[in-house]
Amino acid sequence: MESRATVFLVDDEPAVRDAVSLFLMSKGHVVELFDSAQAFLDAYQPDRPGCLVLDIRMPGMSGMELQEELTRRQITIPIIFISGHGDVPIAVKAFKAGALDFLEKPFDNHKLLSCIEMAMQRDQERRRRQTERTEMLSRYRQLTPREREVMVLVAEGKTNKDVARRLDISHRTVEIHRRRVMEKLGAASVSDLVSVSVLCGVYELHVPNHQPVLE
């Protein structure tokens, strides 16, 4: 069963946690509370959808340090920073590191709600693209080495005749490989094939026998 999107609220002030969580739950959001950055880091599983509402200044690990650690672990949950200090340099640094927004306490709850809804949409879209890419990579890996060569050349705009000459195979053989490639990848057109090539990270493959580097 797929997890519901959750607002992960990290703040060392109990009053802030209580007030914000009550408001968000009244708007239908699932909220989990943490009194420290380390507590969140210890509990969070990257496969859980949602967003992170994070206080900048906390004892121990700060919000910025948590953001840096999440980046190091390649965890890309959307982050909305909240702070009781109008610290412009910190806000700029947070945005450069990928934060979605930065709200100064006391902030308007409806502004926070708007930011959270945007963050949820961004996380959902990122996870959708990630799932799509994973599925397409699985299909791509089912192609034979020759089919991969044909795929890339066709995606580059080469005709069957061009591909046959480039790979030193017959026109009929190219047609067979091309049909199998389209079937295996579920591609209905050359434009679909181009999209798959980009999605799988093989669009830079320009010469036969070159092996793409897949993430």
Does 127 lie in the same domain as 33? yes
Determine, yes or no, domain membership for 214.
no
Does 116 lie in the same domain as 66? yes
Determine, yes or no, domain membership for 60.
yes
- Give the structural domain span for 158: 141-200
- Domain end (from 95, 111, 131): 131
Q: Is the pLDDT of residue 120 over 50?
A: yes
**Please, which pLDDT band fits residue 214 given cuts at 50, 70 and 90?**
very low
Looking at residues 104-133, what average pLDDT do you find? 91
Looking at residues 100-122, what average pLDDT do you find? 91
Determine, yes or no, domain membership for 69.
yes
Does 108 lie in the same domain as 29? yes
Number of folded domains in the chain? 2
Does 154 lie in the same domain as 87? no
Determine, yes or no, domain membership for 206.
no
Q: What is the CATH number of the domain that holds 191?
A: 1.10.10.10
Query: What mean pLDDT is reported for the chain?
Result: 87
Does 98 lie in the same domain as 17? yes
Does 149 lie in the same domain as 87? no
**Please, which pLDDT band fits residue 37 given cuts at 50, 70 and 90?**
very high
d(CA 104, CA 102): 7
Contacts of 65 (CB under 8 A, 6+ apart): 37
pTM of the model: 0.73
Does 192 lie in the same domain as 159? yes
- Domain end (from 99, 131, 163): 131
Does 96 lie in the same domain as 186? no
DSSP secondary structure string, the chain?
-PPPPEEEEE-S-HHHHHHHHHHHHHTT-EEEEESSHHHHHHH--TTS-EEEEEES--SSS-HHHHHHHHHHTT----EEEEESS--HHHHHHHHHTT-SEEEESS--HHHHHHHHHHHHHHHHHHHHHHHHHHHHHHHHTTS-HHHHHHHHHHHTT--HHHHHHHHT--HHHHHHHHHHHHHHHT--SHHHHHHHHHHHT-TT--STTPPPP--
Residue with tokens 């990257």: 46
Determine, yes or no, domain membership for 207.
no
Does 109 lie in the same domain as 151? no
Looking at residues 11-27, what average pLDDT do you find? 95
**Lowest-pLDDT range of 4-18, 78-92, 98-112, 159-173:** 78-92
Does 94 lie in the same domain as 150? no
Are 53 and 31 a contacting pair, CB within 8 Å?
no
pLDDT of residue 2: 53
Does 146 lie in the same domain as 75? no
Does 117 lie in the same domain as 41? yes
Q: Is the pLDDT of residue 208 over 60?
A: no
End-to-end CA distance of the chain: 27
Q: Which long-range contacts link 172-179 to residues 24+ away (Cβ below 8 Å)?
A: 174/150, 177/146, 177/147, 177/150, 178/150, 178/154
Q: What is the CATH number of the domain that holds 42?
A: 3.40.50.2300
- The widest CA-to-CA distance across the chain, in whole angstroms, is 74
pLDDT tens digit string along 121-177? 999 999 998 888 889 889 999 999 999 999 989 988 899 999 999 999 999 999 999
Determine, yes or no, domain membership for 205.
no
Q: Is the pLDDT of residue 25 over 60?
A: yes
**Lowest-pLDDT range of 35-44, 72-81, 197-206:** 197-206
